[in-house]
Structure 1
Amino acid sequence: MPLSVPFVAEVIPTDKVDVAFKDLDAAILVGSMPRREGMERKDLLKANVAIFKSQGEALDKYAKKTVKVLVVGNPANTNCLIAAKSAPSIPKENFSCLTRLDHNRACSQVAMRCGISANSVKNMIIWGNHSSTQYPDIHHCKVNVQGKDVTAFDAVKDDAWLKGEFISTVQRRGAAVIKARKLSSAMSAAKAICDHMRDIWTGTTEGEFISMGVYSTGNPYGVPEDLIYSFPVSIKDKAWKIVDGLAINDFSKAKMDATAAELVEERDTAVSFLGV
Structure 2
Amino acid sequence: MAEPLKVLVTGAAGQIAYSLLFSVGKGDVFGQDQPIILVLLDIPPMMGVLEGVVMELNDCSLPLVKGIICTHDLEEAFTGIDVAFMVGAMPRREGMERKDLLKANVKIFKQQGEALDKFAKKDVKVLVVGNPANTNACICAKYAPSIPKENFSAMTRLDQNRAQSLVANRLGVPNSDVWNVIIWGNHSSTQFPDVQHAKVKIGGEDKNAFEAVKDDSWLKNEFVSTVQKRGAAIIAARKLSSAMSAAKAACDHIRDWWNGTQEVGFNFQSIFSINLIFLKN
**TM-score relative to the length of structure 1:** 0.77
Counterpart residue number, 2:277: 215
- Which letter does structure 1 place at the counterpart of 2:274? M
- Which letter does structure 1 place at the counterpart of 2:242? S
Task: Please give the per-residue CA displacement for 1:108-165, whole angstroms capped at 9, x wherever unaligned.
Answer: 0000101111111100001111111111111000011111111112221111101111
Q: Take 2:165 and 2:60, find their aligned partners in 1: how far apart are those partners?
A: 34
Secondary structure of the structure 2 residue equivalent to 1:11: strand
Counterpart residue number, 1:85: 142
Counterpart residue number, 2:237: 180
Task: Please give the per-residue CA displacement for 1:243-273, whole angstroms capped at 9, x wherever unaligned.
Answer: xxxxxxxxxxxxxxxxxxxxxxxxxxxxxxx
Q: Take 2:60 and 2:146, find their aligned partners in 1: how far apart are those partners?
A: 35
Kindly report which structure 2 residues correspond to 1:232-251, keeping only aligned pairs within 5 A, or say none.
none
Out of 70, 89, 112, the position equivalent to 2:127 is 70
Task: Confirm or deny: 8 A CA contact 2:123 2:151 kept in the other structure.
Answer: yes
Task: Confirm or deny: 8 A CA contact 1:3 1:9 kept in the other structure.
Answer: no
Counterpart residue number, 1:111: 168
Task: Confirm or deny: 8 A CA contact 1:111 1:120 kept in the other structure.
Answer: yes
Kindly report which structure 2 residues correspond to 1:39-188, keeping only aligned pairs within 5 A, or say none.
39-188=96-245
Structure 2: segments with no counterpart, 5+ residues? 1-57
Report runs of 4+ in structure 1 exceeding 2 Å deviation. none
Task: Confirm or deny: 8 A CA contact 1:56 1:82 kept in the other structure.
Answer: yes
**Sequence identity, in percent?**
65
Counterpart residue number, 1:5: 62
Q: Take 1:186 and 1:6, find their aligned partners in 2: how far apart are those partners?
A: 25
Task: Please give the per-residue CA displacement for 1:38-89, whole angstroms capped at 9, x wherever unaligned.
Answer: 1111111111111111110000010000000000000001000000001000
In the alignment of these two chains, the number of paired residues is: 219
Secondary structure of the structure 2 residue equivalent to 1:184: coil
Task: Confirm or deny: 8 A CA contact 2:122 2:147 kept in the other structure.
Answer: yes
How far 1:213 moved relative to its partner?
2.0
Counterpart residue number, 1:250: none
Task: Confirm or deny: 8 A CA contact 1:84 1:95 kept in the other structure.
Answer: yes
Secondary structure of the structure 1 residue equivalent to 2:231: helix
- Which letter does structure 2 place at the counterpart of 1:209? F
Q: Take 2:61 and 2:257, find their aligned partners in 1: how far apart are those partners?
A: 26
- Which letter does structure 2 place at the counterpart of 1:24? I
Structure 1: segments with no counterpart, 5+ residues? 218-224, 227-276
How far 1:215 moved relative to its partner?
1.9
